[in-house]
Amino acid sequence: MFGRRADGKKVKNLLIIDKAITYFMPQRIDAVNLVEQTVNCAPLDKFILEEKKNSGIHYSYTEILYAAAVRMIYERPKTNRFINNCVIYQRKYISVSMSIKKKLVDDGEEITTKLFFTGRESLPEFKKILDDEISKNLQSADESHKTSRVAGFLCKLPNWMFKAAIALLRFGDKHNMLPRWLIDASPFHTSMYVADLRSIKLDAIYHHLYNFGNTTIFTTLGKVGYAPVANREGEISTQKQFKLKFSLDERVCDGLYWSNSLKLLMKYLEHPELLKEPLPEPELKGRALKKKLKEDKKQAKRVAKEDKIRAKRNAKAEKKNAKKK
């Protein structure tokens, strides 16, 4: 309350136009800008082939995009801002939400998950985090993911109670009353939401920004195709490529900042070898160091609690399976 949030810090000393624009356009749907980028697959394919040959690790386009996007958000911190109740906040963490379809059939179960990053991870570290999260969510015995548990609880409520619960959540979010554990569980309170549409053989689409939560960036990847391209000499060739489409909240920073941020993202996709090494941790002193140590301690407690709950649920599921056998 009173301007303080569990997931963000109020941005002060804004320019007049930056502060006023949130009142002219109070909702994310008012302020969405749509951007399309074409990604040349040649540098990615070359990098993936070399890494598989040299290190035995096979990377996918999605993993490289995640690493590039998170690195971009870390290096361009204004893209990790969000607006709540006409106030601009700087997000305290970097997170990415994604949806996972357990089976590629019409009625296949879909799970939404949220991953947290520092932004300094190397590409192998990104891959491990993604692989671990996906494999964890695809295991039917493990239903301990925070997002799934909260969503499952709400969906069991009667319709009138479900509607009241959502209204209460919206009110609490607007007035900064949501607890940290609930924000951590919400896929809509995230730095970026990514939808990989290649897996369902669909072209990239412009996805809306949710008015619930505070997602500032929504990105979709389209299926790979071939298109004619011309070089500076006017020679035409066929290029393997896919589309990236972005829905961006224009209120968090100006057009030049967004432009330079997307250029940085495309640079990483054109030169994925730049993502192989982790970024050095910034040197902290005084109050900043104490705050960092406090956050690390809280995060360690949250992880330990999650692991404990997961272990209990897995043990319970194993007992049930043993009884059935």
DSSP string, 56-87: -PPP-HHHHHHHHHHHHHHHSGGGGEEEETTE
Same-domain status, 304 and 190: no
Residue 142 pLDDT:
46
From residue 137, how far is each of 6, 103, 133, 265 by CA, in Å?
26, 12, 6, 28
pLDDT at 65: 94
Q: Is residue 319 part of a domain?
A: yes
Same domain, 160 and 295: no
Residue 3: inside a domain: no
* Distance, CA of 317 to CA of 311 (rounded, Å): 10
DSSP-derived letter for residue 28 is G
Residues spanned by the domain of 291: 287-325
CB 47 within 8 A of CB 272: yes
Phi/psi of residue 281, nearest 5 degrees: -75, 130
* Same domain, yes or no: 67 and 193: yes
Are 184 and 300 in a shared domain?
Answer: no
Domain count, the chain: 2
Which residue has 């902290």 as its token pair? 284
**Which pLDDT does position 139 carry in this prediction?**
61
Alpha-helical segments (H) within 273-285: none
Instruction: Note the pLDDT of residue 145.
Output: 58
Residue 285: the pLDDT is 67
Residue 275's nearest CA partner among 71, 37, 93, 45 is 71
**Residue 293 and residue 165 share a domain:** no
pLDDT of residue 104: 65
* Residue 115 · residue 133 · CB < 8 Å: yes
| Residues in Cβ contact with 301 at an 8 Å cutoff, skipping those fewer than 6 apart | none
Largest CA distance in the chain: 72
Written as six digits, the tokens of 12 are: 């002060």
For the chain, list residues with pLDDT below 50. Answer: 141-144
- 1 is a domain residue: no
What pLDDT is stored for residue 325 in this prediction?
Answer: 65
User: Which residue in 224, 219, 252 sits closest to 238, CA to CA?
Assistant: 224
* Distance (Å, whole) CA 258 – CA 235: 32
Residues with Cβ within 8 Å of 139's Cβ and at least 6 positions away in sequence, in order, are none
pTM as predicted: 0.82
In-domain check, residue 53: yes
CATH number of 240's domain: 3.30.559.10
- Per the listing, tokens 């997170």 go with 95
